[in-house]
């Protein structure tokens, strides 16, 4: 396979080019987004394929990087992370990969995005309280040499949206 046909995953692994997804693949994705703990048997029954076919399709979706993993939706407040904030960052040009690695190490970081617009990076963090958030921003983030400026947007209330189906 030619290098230009390969894609880098967020973790740095080289992935094959994506294969087209059919209606059964889409149904499997929707079901697993709703219930990541669904058994192969229940997936197969729901999408009307054999267990072997469902198993093979899920493995292909994993190998292709379509499914990046399985996890739990966490109530951050009940888990002791009652303060949430979006933090925007302006960074030194061409420093995204370096900054991304630093941000991955931050306690409570749950989403990192390189974006276009008035700032370069959008970071979602969950911390135990405002004091911990202040420490994270003023001590950890602003100590990263490639970070030129930050702006913190405190989240008053949040809700995870269930996949539409």
pLDDT of residue 163: 62
**Tens-level pLDDT at each residue, the chain (165 residues):** 344 344 555 555 677 787 899 999 999 999 998 888 999 999 999 999 999 999 999 999 999 999 998 888 888 888 899 999 999 999 999 999 999 999 999 999 999 999 999 999 999 999 999 999 999 999 999 999 999 999 999 999 988 776 655
The whole-number pLDDT of residue 96 equals 96
Report the pLDDT value the prediction gives residue 13, as an integer from 0 to 100: 67
- The topology under which CATH files domain 83-155 is Alpha-Beta Plaits (3.30.70)
> Which string of DSSP letters, residue by residue, matches 6-65?
-EE-TTS-EEPPPPPP-HHHHHHHHHHHH-TT--HHHHHHHHTS-HHHHHHHHHHHHHTT
Kind of pairing between the strands at 147-155 and 14-15: unpaired
In whole angstroms, give the CA distance from residue 95 to residue 105.
16
Question: Where do the structural domains in the chain lie, given as residue ranges?
Answer: 3-63, 83-155
Please, are residues 67 and 31 in contact by the beta-carbon 8 Å criterion?
no
The arrangement of secondary structure in 3-63, i.e. its CATH architecture, is Orthogonal Bundle (1.10)
């Amino acid at each position: 396979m030619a290098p230009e046909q390969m894609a880098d995953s967020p973790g740095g692994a080289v992935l094959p080019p994506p294969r087209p997804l059919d209606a059964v693949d889409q149904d499997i994705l929707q079901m697993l987004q709703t219930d990541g703990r669904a058994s192969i048997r229940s997936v197969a029954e729901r999408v009307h394929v054999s267990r072997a076919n469902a198993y093979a399709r899920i493995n292909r979706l994993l190998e292709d990087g379509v499914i990046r993993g399985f996890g739990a939706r966490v109530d951050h407040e009940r888990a002791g992370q009652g303060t949430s904030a979006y933090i925007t960052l302006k960074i030194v040009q061409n420093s995204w990969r370096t900054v991304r690695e630093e941000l991955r190490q931050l306690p409570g970081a749950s989403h990192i995005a390189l974006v276009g617009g008035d700032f370069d990076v959008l970071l979602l963090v969950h911390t135990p309280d405002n004091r911990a958030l202040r420490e994270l921003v003023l001590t950890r983030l602003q100590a990263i040499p490639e970070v030129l400026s930050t702006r913190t947007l405190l989240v008053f209330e949040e809700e995870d949206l269930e996949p539409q189906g």
